[in-house]
Structure 1
Amino acid sequence: MSTQTTQDFHSVVKSRHSVRQYDSSVKISKEEMTEILQEAILAPSSSNLQPWRFLVIEQEDLKKKLHPIAFNQGQVLQASAVIAVFGDMEWYEHAEEIYSDAVKAGFMTEEVKQAFIASAENVYRHMDEERKKSILYTDGGLVSMQLMLSARAKGYDTVPMGGYDKIKLHEEFNIPTHYESIMLIAIGKAEGPVHPTSRLPLEKVTYWNEMK
């Protein structure tokens, strides 16, 4: 089933809600899922080193395997797929590939490329684990939000999930040890009407020029 739609940005933002009940008959094609992921990875990242990695879990037997790992949350079984978002703790090792592509595309010179590679080596490689994870979670959050907005623009619904056993996920799905688990995102079509949630008034969460 294809749910290709076109919506303006404001409609997408206002209609995105976390959905936990899905129509299990709806399947998202690999083509559409690829389009969603392609739009997601346009998100910004530290030094444009794109540390995100994805595991798309769509086979029924694998969703059943994931179900107890995600503390038996129903959306794991009902959704068209669950996307596991990871951050590669060795992401800076891809600097040569990324910046070489930028040179070929005319986005930077060879001199700038070499400077960027040297910076990545000097800064990221010797960074402590806590700071590395902080970068991965920041960039992982950015790409995850973009993924959810892309899905909504195509008429699909999502819910970000932090309640799962990360150790078991790594063990059961043979995740590389240098991948840090960021979140799970269930994606599909809501089973019924989606109810909005309340938000704090803007004036309670926003300050202008100084914090009072």
Structure 2
Amino acid sequence: MANKDLQQQIIEAFNFRHATKRFDASRKIEESDFNTILEAARLSPSSLGLEPWRFLVVQSEDLRNKFHKISGGAKGQLETASHFVLILARKNVTKSSPHVHRILSELKQYDEDSIKSFGEKVEGFQTGFHINDNERTLLDWASKQTYIALGNMMTSAALLGIDSCPMEGFDIDAMERLLDEEGIADSKEFAPSVMVAFGYREKDPKPKVRQAQQDVVEWL
């Protein structure tokens, strides 16, 4: 059985975490702490281990100002967060995409027969779940994976006593155009998925309110 102190630490971190609208702009996250948060994202699981994401750490004041104009739900966070991250989802991740081939050949170092076999596995899985029906369903699948990394980043931050806030409050088409125009991300390869801000709360939040466990968990 896990150490009870560790169990309590985990629950306390989840009670501590809340969607911080404004941060104390005078406080900055230590480099080692934020690198731990980034590592939690990098090491997150993804469907078939294909890592269909990219994490943009937006520290440039000029770029944050441009984000501000098209992100109605993130204005306070963009103005005050110590660190601000835009997570991108990779488009058209299929057995024949260059990204998948690179993951299999360079990262996992599969031989050609194993690459072919894995490609068939990818196609069978995607077909069975209607993932490869069209470009939209492929992007939706990739975007789901980014939320796994997002959750791990926020949980890691809470364990470190760092606040966070996930956000979808931006004009996705305008953001995609901006990333293209700035030469940051090719819209043929990536789409904006979700944003998340990190820092230290400006003021204490209201107590957390959630449904009781018996109302959301059913044992079968």
Matched, 1:51 2:52: yes
Q: Determine if contact 1:52/1:143 at 8 Å carries over to the other structure.
A: no
Q: Determine if contact 1:85/1:184 at 8 Å carries over to the other structure.
A: yes
Aligned to 2:219: 208
Matched-pair identity in % = 27
Q: Which moved more, 1:156-165 or 1:52-61?
A: 52-61
Aligned to 1:139: 145
**TM-score normalised by L of structure 1:** 0.80
**Separation of aligned partners in 2, 1:130 and 1:86:** 15
Aligned to 1:89: 91
Matched, 1:23 2:29: no
**Separation of aligned partners in 2, 1:126 and 1:20:** 37
Q: Determine if contact 1:103/1:109 at 8 Å carries over to the other structure.
A: no
**Separation of aligned partners in 1, 2:104 and 2:145:** 18
Q: Note the C-alpha offset of 1:31.
A: 4.7
Q: Determine if contact 2:17/2:163 at 8 Å carries over to the other structure.
A: yes
Which blocks of at least 5 consecutive residues in structure 2 are unaligned? 1-5
**Separation of aligned partners in 2, 1:91 and 1:24:** 38
**Separation of aligned partners in 1, 2:66 and 2:24:** 20
Q: Deviations over 1:156-209 (max 9, x none)?
A: 111011111111112223232131221111111111223333112223223333
Q: Which moved more, 1:6-15 or 1:66-75?
A: 6-15
Aligned to 1:195: 206
Aligned to 1:99: 104
Q: Determine if contact 2:13/2:155 at 8 Å carries over to the other structure.
A: yes
Change (3 A) 1:29 1:173: farther
Q: Note the C-alpha offset of 1:57.
A: 0.7
The AA in structure 2 aligned to 1:98 is I
Q: Which moved more, 1:114-123 or 1:193-202?
A: 114-123
**TM-score normalised by L of structure 2:** 0.78
Q: Deviations over 1:87-137 (max 9, x none)?
A: 101344322332345655xxx887545421343367659542232123123
Matched, 1:158 2:164: yes
Aligned to 1:61: 62
Give structure 1 regions of 4+ aligned residues with deviation exceeding 6 angstroms: none
**Separation of aligned partners in 1, 2:124 and 2:216:** 37
- Cα RMSD of the aligned pairs, angstroms, is 2.8
Change (3 A) 1:35 1:91: farther
Q: Which moved more, 1:43-52 or 1:122-131?
A: 122-131
Q: Secondary structure at the match of 2:34?
A: helix
Aligned residue pairs total 201
Equivalent of 1:148, from 139, 150, 154? Answer: 154
Which blocks of at least 5 consecutive residues in structure 1 are unaligned? 1-5
Q: Secondary structure at the match of 1:43?
A: coil
Change (3 A) 1:102 1:113: farther
Aligned to 2:3: none
Aligned to 2:194: 183
